[in-house]
Structure 1
Amino acid sequence: MDLDTVENATKLFEVGTICIYDLFESDTKLIIPDYQRPYVWNKEHITELLNDWNDHFFKDNKFNDDAIEYFMGSVMIHKNDGKYEVIDGQQRLTTLLIMDYVWNENNSVLSRGNFDFNYKSKVSSNHIKENRNLLKSIRGGLISKNFNKIIQKLVFSFIITENEDNAFVFFDSQNNRGVPLDEVDFFKSYHLRELNNYEEYLRFFAKKFDRINSLNNAKIHNEPNLKSLNELFIKQLWRIRFWSKNKLWFASRKSLLDTFQKNTVVFETVDDIKLYPSFNNTLGSSLKFNKQMQPELNSRIRLYGSESIDIPFTINQPIQKGIGFFLFTEKYTALFNYIFREKKVEEINPITSLIYELYNDYFINLYQMAVVMYYDKFGEQQIEPFTKWFEHFMGAFRMNRSSIVEQSPIVLLRVYGNILQLIQQSYLTSEVLSALKGAVEENYYEGFIYKKLENGDITIHFDDTLQTKLSPARQNYYQCVRIFYLKNITTNYQLTEKQNWINGSLAK
C-alpha cells in the first residue's frame, strides 16, 4: 500500500492506514519541512518503545508470528505541490528510520534515498547520535534480529490534506507519543507558516530561532537563571506583558498560545515590520529655541545595527505574526542574556549577586522581570539605584514573611504597589525611584532591635519586651544585607538604617 492508495476518502482529509513496511518499500518521498521542531526523542523514549514491542511481539524469547498489528499512532501529512510534508508523527518516523539504518545498514531505507528527513539543529543531531549509539549497543539482540518482521506489523493511521490550515489545526491539537510539545515549538511552527511562500525568510528565521533555542537550552549556570527559551516566554515575557497591566495571575497554556500566536497581528506585507515608540525609536529627545525663536528638535534616534538588543521594539508592543515574532524573540532573549548571563551592565552585578544569595527563584524571577522591563524603558539611566531600591522593596516583604511561595510576588505587587505597572506608565526614572522609596515606610523596621549573641545567633527584641530568635532565612537576610552595605563593620546596626545604607552606597 502506498500513499496514493491511502488518498481515497474525502476532499477535506484523506484518511487511511498504512503499514510502515509498505511505506518503506514505496517510492513516496516524505520530507520534514523547515518549520518543524527538532527531533527530541531520547534514550528513555526508545527504551519504552522497545519494551512495548518486546511484550507485544515475543513469546518465550521467540517472535510470535500470530501477534496482531501494533498501532504506532497517527501521521499527519500536508501534500504541498507534490511533496509530502510530515506535520505530525516525525518523532516516531525518525526513530524507525534510525533503527532501520543501524540494524539494516546498506539495505536501509535511508541508503535508498526515499526520505528527506534533514534536521539542522544541534538538538536533533545530539538526540540522533545518542539514539544511534543506544541501538548499536543492542544490535544482535532479539528485537534487532527480528526488526524486519516487526515493521511488517507496525501500522500508522495516515491523514493527508492539501489544505494547509487543516494540517496545522490538527498539528496544534496533537502531542507526539510521550513528548508533549513545548510552547515554543508551537510558536515556531505557527509563525513560520506565515513565511511559507518566502523560502529565503523561512529558512533564515527557522535557523536563527533554532540557534537561539539551542543556546538557551545549553546555558546551564550555577546561578538561578532561566534554563530554556520556553521558560523565558512563560516566566518573563508573558508575565511582564500581563502583570504590568495589573493582570496578576499565572499563565495557562491557552493564554500563552493566545498571546504569542492567536492574538499576534497581521499586516499587508510580510516583511514590513511595524515599529512603536520605544527607548531606541524616538524621533527626538528635546526641543530648544534658535535665535529666531523657532523650536528645533534634538534627535537621538539610534539606528538598528547588528546588535540584537538594539532592535527598536518595546516589550509590551503588539507582536506581528511571522518575522515580527522572531525579531521580538531575538530582542528579548538577547536582552535577558546581556543583563543576566553576560553581565554586561556591570554596576548592577553586585546587587544581583546579593539577590541570588538572599531569595528563592520566585523573587529572583520577579527581580529579573523588573530589571528587563526597566532597561527596556530607560536603558542604563539610574539602573543601579533602581536595582538597590527594588531589592529594598522585596526585602521588606521578605522580612515580614516566614516563607516565600509561588504566589508571593503577586501578593507583593498587590499589597506594596505594582512597580511593573509603574515602569510601564512612567516617563521619568525619578517617578519609578520615588515610588520604590515610598513603598517601604522609613520607620518600617522601627521597634525591631537586633542583637548578636556569642554563638552567632541573632535575637530580635520588639519594644524591649518580646525576645525571639529570627528564622534562619531572616537571620541570613539581615546579616547579608548589613555586610553588603557596611562590609567589615560588625557593630549591631539595625535595618531601620537600611535606607541610609543605600543612599550612602549610591553617593560613593
Structure 2
Amino acid sequence: MTKGNNKELMKIESPSKLSYGISKIRGLPFDKLIVAYYQRPYKWNIKNVNQLISDLIEAQKDSEYRLGTIILFKRDDNKYEIVDGQQRIITLSILLYRLLKKFNKYNNEKFLNFYNKLNKFWVNTKFKNPISIQHVKNNLAAIDERLGDLDEDFLIFLLSECEVVFIELSEISEAFQFFDSQNARGKDLEPHDLLKAFHLREMQGDSLSKEDEENIKNWEEYDSKDLSELFLCLYRIKRWIKGKDAKFFTKDDVDTFKGISIGNHYSPPCYSPEIYCHNFASLSPTIIAFPFQLDQIVLNGSRFFEMIKHYADLYKQIKTSRFFEQYCLPDDPSSASEIIGFLNKYGNKSRTGDLYVRDYFDCLLLFYVDRFGLSEEINKVVRKIFLFSYLIRLSMHTVQLASVDSRAKDSLILRTIRDGLTPYDVINLAKPPLEKPASNADGDLLWFYKKTSNNNSSLNENENK
C-alpha cells in the first residue's frame, strides 16, 4: 500500500490484449467482479483487517492512497474474474458495506448505485470452502468492533481518495502468465504457488467433483514449508532417475510438474498410457485409484492435485516408524520400523550433512514404495537403502549437498529401483563395504550401521526368495 503519484506505474511486457490504469475505489465495477472457483480460499484474518483499517486511518493525512494492484480477466459476458487481488477486494467490500450501513448511505442517491454494486458482488460471490466462510464471519465481527473508530470522512476518503492499479486482460492464459511473471519476482512466492495457479487454470471449464474440491482443500491446508519439502523430494527423484543434478527446486524448475492436458487434440502415442489410465480411473473414481508413478507424465489440472495428495500422504507415512510396524515379522532383525525410528532420534541427526543424507534416504524409500508398494519385503529393502545411503555419512568427514547430489544421480541402488522388476532386484544388491569410517562419525550411527550390516546377509535373503 503506497501513496499515489503521477509517475509511471510500472514497465510491462505487454501481452496481446492488455489494458491498465488507476481506479478510485468507488469506480471499481464490483457488480461485475467474480471470485472464480479456481481461486484459493479467502484467508485474510482479523490481524490483516485491523492492519488495513489502521493504515487507512493513518493515510487520511495524505491526499490519496494506493491499495496495490489487481489483475482481472475480462470474460465474454463482460464480467471480470479476479486473478490476483481477491483478498484485498473481498475485505474492502465487507468494510465498505458496513460503513454504508452505519452512515445510512444506502438510501442516499449519491451512494445508492455503488451500494447496489456491492450487493451484486455478494450475490455473485458464493463461498463453498469452510475456510473462506469462517474468515468472512471473523472479519465481519472485527470490522464491527472498529466501526466506532471510523467516521463519515473515513468513508468518503476510502471511496474517493483511495485507489488501485488494475491490469485487465481478455485472455485467461495471458492473465495467469502475467500473474506468474509478476509474482515470480516476489520473495514470498514459492515454486509450488506457481504450479497451483497453473493447474487451477487447467481446470477451468471442468465441473469440480467432490474429490476435486477435497484435494484443493487439502492443498490449502498444507503448510507451505511441508509442500516445499515434498516438492524438493519429488523433483530430486524425477531428476536423479534421469542422471541429472537436483540440488534445489526453484521457480525455473516448475515445468517438471507440468505435463499434458486431457482433451487436447494432439495426443501422440507416448501419451496413451496416462490417458488410458485417466479414462479408466474416471469411470469409478471411488473404486479405482489412478496409478500414479513418479516417472510418468504429469496430467495437468485435477489429476495434479490428486497426485500431490497421494504423494503427500505417502511421504508422511514413510518418515514415520509406526507406519512400518504392521510389516514387522517375528524376530526380524533391524526392521524398517526400527531403522526409521533410529534415524528420527539419533543424536546428530540434525547436522547439515546428516540432513542431506536423510533426504537422500527418504527419496530412495519413496521411489521404491512408489514402484513396488508395501509388503513384508520392505524390511529387507529399507535395510539395503539405509546401508547404501548412510555409507556416505559414515565414510565422509564433511558431507556437502553437492556430494550427495553427485552420488545420487549416479547411484546403483537408484538405478536398480528404476529398472528392477521385483523387490529382490534391490534386496539382492551386495551390501556396500564401509572400509574406514570418518574420524567424526557419530558413534551411535556407526554402531547401528554395523549392526544392520551384520543382519543384512544377501545369501540368506537369496535363499528366502
Per the normalisation by structure 2, the TM-score is 0.73
Query: Quick one: structure 1 residues 81 and 267, their matched pair in 2 at CA, closer, same or farther if it must change by over 3 Å?
Result: closer
CA distance in 1, matches of 2:180, 2:367: 31
Corresponding residue number in structure 2 for 1:36: 39
User: Is structure 2 residue 315 aligned with structure 1 residue 314?
Assistant: no
CA distance in 1, matches of 2:200, 2:275: 26
Query: Quick one: structure 1 residues 227 and 75, their matched pair in 2 at CA, closer, same or farther if it must change by over 3 Å?
Result: closer
Once the two structures are superposed, what CA deviation does each residue of 1:203-260 show, in whole Å capped at 9, x if it has no partner?
656513322214533xxxxxxxx9533432x222211111221212234433432122
Q: CA deviation at 1:168?
A: 2.0
Amino acid at match of 2:38: Y
Query: Quick one: structure 1 residues 396 and 251, their matched pair in 2 at CA, closer, same or farther if it must change by over 3 Å?
Result: closer
Native 8 Å contact 2:70 2:167 kept in 1: yes
Q: For residues 241-260 of structure 1, what are the structure 2 equivalents within 5 Å?
A: 241-260=238-257
Q: CA deviation at 1:340?
A: 4.3
- What CA RMSD, in Å, does the superposition of the two structures yield over aligned residues? 4.3
Q: Aligned to 2:42, what secondary structure does the other structure show? A: coil
Query: Quick one: structure 1 residues 388 and 30, their matched pair in 2 at CA, closer, same or farther if it must change by over 3 Å?
Result: same
Q: For residues 87-486 of structure 1, what are the structure 2 equivalents within 5 Å?
A: 87-101=83-97, 112-115=119-122, 116-125=124-133, 127-128=135-136, 131-132=139-140, 134-141=142-149, 146-175=154-183, 180-198=188-206, 200=207, 202=208, 204=210, 206-217=212-223, 228-232=226-230, 234-261=231-258, 263-264=259-260, 267-268=263-264, 274-275=272-273, 306=286, 310-340=289-319, 343=323, 346-347=326-327, 348-358=336-346, 359-360=349-350, 361-381=355-375, 382-402=377-397, 404=399, 406-407=401-402, 409-413=404-408, 417-435=411-429, 437-438=430-431, 440-441=432-433, 444-445=435-436, 474-478=442-446, 481=448
Amino acid at match of 1:317: Q
User: Is structure 2 residue 12 aligned with structure 1 residue 16?
Assistant: no
Q: CA deviation at 1:372?
A: 1.6
CA distance in 2, matches of 1:134, 1:311: 44
Amino acid at match of 2:356: Y
CA distance in 2, matches of 1:175, 1:275: 35
Q: CA deviation at 1:89?
A: 1.5
The aligned length equals 414
- More relative contact order in 1 or in 2 (CA 8 Å, sep 6+)? 2
CA distance in 2, matches of 1:414, 1:194: 32
Gaps of 5+ in 1: 1-9, 59-66, 218-225, 282-302, 449-461, 463-469, 482-494
Native 8 Å contact 2:242 2:409 kept in 1: no
Q: CA deviation at 1:374?
A: 0.5
Native 8 Å contact 1:351 1:388 kept in 2: yes
CA distance in 2, matches of 1:123, 1:183: 23
Q: Aligned to 2:40, what secondary structure does the other structure show? A: coil
CA distance in 2, matches of 1:114, 1:69: 25
Identity of aligned residues (%): 24
Native 8 Å contact 1:17 1:155 kept in 2: yes
Native 8 Å contact 2:420 2:426 kept in 1: yes
Amino acid at match of 2:295: N
Q: Which has the higher strand share?
A: 1
Per the normalisation by structure 1, the TM-score is 0.67
Corresponding residue number in structure 1 for 2:330: none
Corresponding residue number in structure 2 for 1:286: none
Q: CA deviation at 1:136?
A: 4.8
Native 8 Å contact 1:362 1:408 kept in 2: no
Query: Quick one: structure 1 residues 185 and 246, their matched pair in 2 at CA, closer, same or farther if it must change by over 3 Å?
Result: same
Once the two structures are superposed, what CA deviation does each residue of 1:355-396 show, in whole Å capped at 9, x if it has no partner?
212334433332222122101211225211111121222332
CA distance in 1, matches of 2:393, 2:30: 66
Native 8 Å contact 2:293 2:371 kept in 1: yes
Native 8 Å contact 1:73 1:157 kept in 2: yes
Amino acid at match of 2:374: E
Native 8 Å contact 1:240 1:369 kept in 2: yes
CA distance in 1, matches of 2:219, 2:131: 9
Correspondent of 1:68 among 63, 67, 73: 63
Query: Quick one: structure 1 residues 85 and 111, their matched pair in 2 at CA, closer, same or farther if it must change by over 3 Å?
Result: closer
Q: Which has the higher helix share?
A: 2
Amino acid at match of 2:378: I
Once the two structures are superposed, what CA deviation does each residue of 1:125-174 show, in whole Å capped at 9, x if it has no partner?
45545555554554433689824423321112223233222222222223
Q: CA deviation at 1:19?
A: 1.0
Q: CA deviation at 1:32?
A: 0.6
CA distance in 2, matches of 1:37, 1:84: 17
Q: For residues 46-57 of structure 1, what are the structure 2 equivalents within 5 Å?
A: 46=49, 49-50=52-53, 52-57=55-60
Larger radius of gyration: 1
Query: Quick one: structure 1 residues 208 and 497, their matched pair in 2 at CA, closer, same or farther if it must change by over 3 Å?
Result: closer
Native 8 Å contact 1:78 1:87 kept in 2: yes
CA distance in 1, matches of 2:159, 2:266: 44
CA distance in 1, matches of 2:337, 2:284: 26
Query: Quick one: structure 1 residues 168 and 56, their matched pair in 2 at CA, closer, same or farther if it must change by over 3 Å?
Result: same
